[in-house]
Structure 1
């Protein structure tokens, strides 16, 4: 191999190593973004569960009030 060929080979190897380093760095960044998204999704799921529980409690309270109102109306008509 001539010195020029060795220089070109070393340059190509250096470029490849730089590309590998960039890919690795991007991979780490992607991993962090995915972890962040997973965390946000878990928080959203928890919030949705809480909202469902609150909606069910409100629904139960609403029907309880309706039942009491019906009982009161029926008691007035009977008495």
Structure 2
């Protein structure tokens, strides 16, 4: 995710920026899935899950907000 977000610094256009952020969002969503799976399989305990889960949830919200905001700027 971090590398994909870093790539947006060199985006060639607003559309490219949005596309790269959307890929980062997909990766964040996949990470959320894996964290849930690790928790359900008891590979990470509940305390570890509670420590990690709010961070990935916040990342998902942040990336979604950036994409929505960027899309609204391109429509104007």
TM-score, normalised by the number of residues in structure 1: 0.39
Write 1 or 2 for the structure with the bigger share of helix: 1
Larger radius of gyration: 1
Q: Which has the higher contact order (CA 8 A, sep 6+)?
A: 2
